[in-house]
Amino acid sequence: MNVIIVGCGRVGAELTKILEKDGHVVTIIDKDGSAFERLAEGLDATRVVGDGTDMETLVRAGVKDADAFVAVTNGDNRNIMAAQIAQTMFEVPNVVCRIYDPLRQKTYKALGLRSISPTIVGAKLLRNDLYFPDGQVTSPDRAIAAGDAVPLANPKHGSATQS
Amino acid sequence: MYIIIGGGGQVGYYLTRELMRQDHEVLLLDKDAARVVELTAELGAVVKRGDACEARTLESVGCERADMVIAVTGDDEDNLVICQVAKERFGREKTIARVNNPANEKLFQKLGIYITVSPTNNILHLIEAQIPHHKLVPLITLSRVGLGLVEVTIPASSPAINKSIRALELPATVNIALIVRGDANITPEGDTVIQSEDRLFALTTENGDQVLRERILAEDTVVTTDTVE
């Protein structure tokens, strides 16, 4: 898939690495050119300096040919707006963004925008670790949080469309 | 009316002041504590500190009974979210967003913002109105109801000159609301006769802009500027 990632913070950089490893073509956008220093060495990802909520920047990054779009800047509203531009103006088939505020996530879920709330995910994982400090209960979520490998279904051929 | 305003910059400040003068119940929200102190000194208890993007904040100021929610921060993403949260969570239909980047106006309209105001686009349209080539100028677009307000200056070449409005047989998608002739405002009636250099203000729906271009301006069917969506 052609994937566009908006925001080259820790999550954006890590996601770029994972997706390239899975064989996808990644374009990553950040307002600050020095953010790309977070990317691991040897990655092929195309780097675009610009505002991910600006349509001209997105066109420059190839949004018209994108199969998937991820917005992970450090602002909930920027992510929401970038993702809605990709979904509404460019009809990218697979769009997801990060929203820290759980209430806002709920609102946008109702509006048909897919998102991950690290606040909720993180709090639940921390709770699990507190309840089971010696790790006798394992789950994919827990393994992911601890940095262990978790098999995914067909990571290289993941469907570009969403339900 | 009860009006909630998000963003206490220059626009938010003057808007609050004017609306208070008109005896509306106004509530102005700003995130910045220092700015809230300044604004409160000027405007009084109508100013509250809070992030208008947050549902909790909007709830605490009684958003569910607001007649209108207006987002005028300097950040388009914040204005978009304020309006969308007000609409989706609190069922507020009348949302007005300031659009800083003119390219975002279409996006906001597609996402159901009731009224979008783009100062940049407005100034561009006004400049276009000064250029002879642009004779139809969109003034405001209410995407929610598919309604536009446009200004048309009648060129000397217009086939409408010396015809009455009735004789133009305009469809229901065009409603001429006002004619400005020199310094005079004329309320148009069926037998009002159009003259060269008249400025027509018309409410248009659907293909209304196109009808005006063809029948009043005798332009080709090529659309040159934004049309009402």
**What are the tens digits of pLDDT across the range B127-148?**
876 776 667 888 877 766 778 8
Mean pLDDT for chain B overall = 90
User: Is A104 close to B55, i.e. CB distance below 8 A?
Assistant: yes
Residue from B111, B113, B116, B143 to probe the interface with A (highest A Cβ count within 10 Å): B111
In this prediction, residue A127 carries a pLDDT of 85
pLDDT one-digit tens code per residue, B165-220: 999 999 999 999 999 999 999 999 999 999 999 999 999 988 888 889 888 888 75
In this prediction, residue A146 carries a pLDDT of 62
CB B124 within 8 Å of CB B102: yes
Asked if the model's pLDDT at residue B102 lies above 50, the reply is yes
Taking the C-alpha atoms of residue B214 and residue B44, their distance in angstroms, rounded to an integer, is 53
* Both structure tokens of B37: 């102190």
| A40: helix, strand or coil | coil
In this prediction, residue A125 carries a pLDDT of 83
Residue from B51, B59, B77 to probe the interface with A (highest A Cβ count within 10 Å): B77
B105 in reach of chain A (CB within 8 A): no
Nearest to A75 among B77, B88, B110 (CB): B77
Q: Count the residues in chain A.
A: 163
Taking the C-alpha atoms of residue B126 and residue B207, their distance in angstroms, rounded to an integer, is 22
Burial class (CB in 10 A: 0-12, 13-18, 19+), B137: buried
In chain A, the residue whose alpha carbon lies closest to the alpha carbon of B102 is A54
Residue from A31, A77, A91, A99 to probe the interface with B (highest B Cβ count within 10 Å): A77
What ipTM is given for this predicted complex? 0.83
- Helix, strand, coil shares of chain A as percentages rounded to 5? 45, 15, 40
User: Is A107 close to B111, i.e. CB distance below 8 A?
Assistant: no
In this prediction, residue A148 carries a pLDDT of 63
Q: What's the mean pLDDT in B113-124?
A: 88
B46 in reach of chain A (CB within 8 A): no
pTM of whole model > 0.80?
no
Q: Residues with Cβ < 8 Å from B201, sequence gap 6 or more?
A: B139, B149, B150, B151, B176, B177, B178, B179, B180
